[in-house]
Structure 1
Amino acid sequence: MSFKKKNIDFVHISKYFYIASIALTIIGIICLSFLGLNYSVDFRAGSNVDITLSKSLTADEIKPVLDKLGVAEGTTVNPGADRMTIRFTNVLNEDQELQLKQEIAKLDEKASFEVNTVDPEMAKELAQNAIKAVLISCLGIIIYVSIRFEWRFAVAAIVSLLHDAFLVIAVFSIFRLEVDLTFITAVLTIIGYSINDTIVIFDRIRENLRFSKLKTREDLAELVNRSISQTIKRSIYTAVTVFVAAFFLFLLGGESIRMFSLAMVIGLLFGAYSTIFIASPLWYVLKGDPKKKKPAKAS
Structure 2
Amino acid sequence: MRFKKELDFVHLSKFFYIFSIVLTILGLVFLGFLGLNYSVDFKAGSNVDVALSKTITQEELNPALSGLGLSHEPSITIGEKRVNIRYDEVLKEEQSEQLQAAISKIDDKASFEINTVDTEMAKELARNAIYSVLISCLGIIIYVSIRFEWRFALAAIVALAHDAFMVVAIFSIFRLEVDLTFIVAVLTIIGYSINDTIVIFDRIRENLRFGKQKTYEDLKGLVNKSVSQTLMRSLYTAFTVFIAAFFLLILGGESIKMFSLAMVIGLLFGAYSSIFIASPLWLLLKKRQKTPVKNNPAKA
Same fold (TM over 0.5): yes
Is residue 263 of structure 1 aligned with residue 229 of structure 2?
Answer: no
Partner of 1:171: 170
Given that residues 287 and 293 in structure 2 are in contact (C-alpha distance below 8 angstroms), is that contact kept between their aligned partners in structure 1?
A: no
Q: Which amino acid aligns with 1:57?
A: I
State the alpha-carbon separation in 2 of the partners of residues 183 and 146 from structure 1. 28
Q: Which amino acid aligns with 2:2?
A: S
Deviations 1:137-172 (A, max 9, x none): 000000000001111001100000000000001111
Partner of 1:94: 93
Deviations 1:39-74 (A, max 9, x none): 111111100000111122222322223221122623
Partner of 2:133: 134
The 5 A counterparts of 1:77-226 are 77-226=76-225
Q: Structure 1: 5+ residue runs without aligned partners?
A: 294-299
Q: Which amino acid aligns with 2:10?
A: V
Given that residues 52 and 111 in structure 2 are in contact (C-alpha distance below 8 angstroms), is that contact kept between their aligned partners in structure 1?
A: yes
Partner of 2:231: 232
SS at match of 1:70: coil
Percent identical pairs in the alignment equals 71
Given that residues 186 and 261 in structure 1 are in contact (C-alpha distance below 8 angstroms), is that contact kept between their aligned partners in structure 2?
A: yes
1:292: how far off? 6.7
CA RMSD, Structure 1 to Structure 2 (Å): 1.4
Q: Which amino acid aligns with 1:163?
A: H
State the alpha-carbon separation in 1 of the partners of residues 247 and 101 from structure 2. 37
Given that residues 249 and 261 in structure 1 are in contact (C-alpha distance below 8 angstroms), is that contact kept between their aligned partners in structure 2?
A: yes
Q: Which amino acid aligns with 2:46?
A: S
1:6: how far off? 4.5
State the alpha-carbon separation in 2 of the partners of residues 44 and 99 from structure 1. 23
Q: Structure 2: 5+ residue runs without aligned partners?
A: 295-300
Partner of 1:297: none
Partner of 2:297: none
Does 259-268 or 54-63 show the bigger shift? Answer: 54-63
State the alpha-carbon separation in 2 of the partners of residues 122 and 131 from structure 1. 14
1:259: how far off? 0.9
1:104: how far off? 1.0
State the alpha-carbon separation in 2 of the partners of residues 144 and 73 from structure 1. 48
1:291: how far off? 5.2
> Which stretches of structure 1, 4 residues or longer, exceed 3 Å deviation after superposition?
289-293
Is residue 8 of structure 1 aligned with residue 13 of structure 2?
Answer: no
Given that residues 196 and 274 in structure 2 are in contact (C-alpha distance below 8 angstroms), is that contact kept between their aligned partners in structure 1?
A: yes
1:7: how far off? 2.5
1:174: how far off? 1.0
How many residue pairs match? The answer is 292
Partner of 1:279: 278
State the alpha-carbon separation in 2 of the partners of residues 35 and 106 from structure 1. 38
Q: Which amino acid aligns with 2:177?
A: E
Given that residues 39 and 177 in structure 2 are in contact (C-alpha distance below 8 angstroms), is that contact kept between their aligned partners in structure 1?
A: yes
State the alpha-carbon separation in 1 of the partners of residues 253 and 265 from structure 2. 18
Given that residues 66 and 72 in structure 1 are in contact (C-alpha distance below 8 angstroms), is that contact kept between their aligned partners in structure 2?
A: no
The alignment's TM-score, normalised by the length of structure 2, stands at: 0.94
Deviations 1:188-236 (A, max 9, x none): 0000000000000000101111111111110110010001011101000
Does 51-60 or 146-155 show the bigger shift? Answer: 51-60
SS at match of 1:74: coil
1:90: how far off? 0.7
1:257: how far off? 1.1
Deviations 1:83-133 (A, max 9, x none): 001111111111111111111111111111110000100000000000000
The alignment's TM-score, normalised by the length of structure 1, stands at: 0.95
Q: Which amino acid aligns with 1:92?
A: L
State the alpha-carbon separation in 1 of the partners of residues 292 and 164 from structure 2. 35
Is residue 31 of structure 1 aligned with residue 30 of structure 2?
Answer: yes
The 5 A counterparts of 1:57-68 are 57-68=56-67
SS at match of 1:50: strand
Q: Which amino acid aligns with 1:250?
A: L
Q: Which amino acid aligns with 2:161?
A: L
State the alpha-carbon separation in 2 of the partners of residues 156 and 16 from structure 1. 18
Given that residues 59 and 78 in structure 1 are in contact (C-alpha distance below 8 angstroms), is that contact kept between their aligned partners in structure 2?
A: no
Given that residues 216 and 293 in structure 2 are in contact (C-alpha distance below 8 angstroms), is that contact kept between their aligned partners in structure 1?
A: no
